[in-house]
Amino acid sequence: MPPAPSERERMTAPLPTGVPPQPVHPGPVLRNRGFLRLWAAQLVSQTAQNGLMFTLLVLITERTGSSIYGSFLVLAFVLPSVVFSIPAGVMVDRWHKRTVLIVTNALRAALAVLYLLLDRWVPALFLITLCFSTVGQFFTPAESASIPALVGRQQLISANALFQLTLTGSQFLGMVILAPALLKTGGPHLFFGAMVAGYLSAAALVAWLPRGFEPELVRRPMSVRGMVRMVTDDVGEVLRTIRHDPLSKLALAQLTVSSSLAMLFGLLVPRFVRDVLDIAADNAVFVFAPVALGAVLGLRLLPWITRRLPKQLVVTLGLFGVVLALVALASVELIARALEQAGAGQFIDAIGRERPRFGTATLSVLVLVTMACGVPMGFFYALVNAPAQTVIHERAPAAMRGRYLGTQLLLANSASLLLLLAVGAAADMLGVSVVLLLYAPVVLAVAVYGLTVQAGAGRVAVADGR
């Protein structure tokens, strides 16, 4: 067995063969037809998936008359990712990514048919959701591993930024526009029918991906009897590789805290709107719209920023910004009270405080402060995911890309599962604002860890005379 690399070798090693040379596609990344098809398939499939979450929450609440089953539904979405993400990554490294993408989209279309047929039986909805999420564990690493195989290194940050922007946009399209509109127009059967068409369209789009765009597949022999041993060996190989690469370890930690932050917001925003702002929970989409605005601005500026600053530094700065935004959001009541004492309330009255502005929400100092905090939250959050994901794409050896991404999903979804189990009770006991404030040190710790890793890389570079 070769000796482990020294600190200098780990810190200054050139990027491994995670991103092989690709044909240059000048101009916007969407001029790359292969990437365009993959991106379009992501837009369709993610919009359908987010619409499915909304539709199932509505259906299960109506069928059971209890909101606690909504938590069980989220658990049904998250649990397969904890169990299957690593084995899925191992399999994806052995299978052609194009084939995996086609089959997983076709399987999800078939599961949508089952939703259509069994929508009145609640246990069936949970069982189908478990299957649906399990299939998704194979789709996600295959999709993500395909990005660096389709675009060149110069376009990788733009490609990841576009995927992150599409992920955010698909949540709005699926949960705010598509699902409510179809449910109101034709009920759940119309939505599930549209879902079947959407996933079949996504399967057709990825079927048009160019053949042979992937790196060489893992060709180790595989048998059913040796499956557990094979997964264990492969995971051990990936963990050893990550352990000797501080930048990969840092990127995985950054993506884990980023994903758990998104889950935290998804769980707490309705409570925040109701308990802190004292307005109807269905106004959350309007009050927190500035978060999306900030995210779009951040993702648009991200390629320009990463041309001037190292990607790892951009992520670290983004995390520090998220910490400040979390503290500000947790303190909106104090900030609003201070502004009202300074006369801001009179200004609001002068422009029509009592007139409804967003659905049923009135324009108040507290709502305005919350909206103002949303812009930097979205902006700084946008600086985290795409650059950290790009680091993983660049540093993951091509033959290990699926396992790298499976490890990433396992860490992120395990953290999300812990939050799912703990946040509801913590919010009941301590309040939403306190939970947000307590999460800020977690993000701060990862940001400081990033500075430590980068400082170590800087010292080694100076020692080498770089």
Q: How many CB atoms lie within 10 A of CB 275?
A: 14
**265 shares a domain with 206:** no
pLDDT attached to residue 343: 63
Name the residue range of residue 187's domain. Answer: 30-214
CATH code for the domain in which residue 100 is found: 1.20.1250.20
466 located within any domain: yes
**321 shares a domain with 430:** yes
**300 shares a domain with 161:** no
**115 shares a domain with 168:** yes
pLDDT attached to residue 99: 92
**202 shares a domain with 88:** yes
DSSP 79-103: HHHHHHHHHHHHHHTTS-HHHHHHH
255 located within any domain: yes
Please give the C-alpha separations between residue 165 and each of 42, 346, 405, in angstroms, as whole numbers: 11, 38, 19
What angle (nearest 5°) sits at the alpha carbon of residue 452, between those of residues 153 and 160?
25
Per-position pLDDT tens, the chain of length 466: 444 444 444 444 444 444 444 444 445 787 888 899 999 999 999 999 989 988 888 888 788 876 667 778 888 888 888 888 878 887 888 888 899 999 999 999 999 999 999 988 989 999 999 999 999 999 988 898 888 888 877 888 888 888 888 887 887 788 778 888 898 888 899 999 999 999 999 999 999 998 777 666 655 555 555 566 666 777 777 778 888 888 888 988 898 888 888 778 777 777 788 788 887 766 777 788 898 889 889 988 998 999 899 888 999 999 999 999 999 999 998 888 888 777 655 555 554 444 444 443 445 788 889 999 999 999 999 999 889 888 888 887 777 777 777 777 777 777 777 776 777 678 778 888 998 999 999 999 999 999 998 887 655 444 444 4
**172 shares a domain with 260:** no
**137 shares a domain with 260:** no
Tokens coding 416:
């999300």
**453 shares a domain with 308:** yes
Domain limit, last residue, from 179, 214, 249: 214
**279 shares a domain with 167:** no
Coil vs helix vs strand at 322: helix
pTM here? Answer: 0.72
**176 shares a domain with 294:** no
Counts of helices then strands in the chain (DSSP H, E): 17, 2
69 located within any domain: yes
**280 shares a domain with 338:** yes
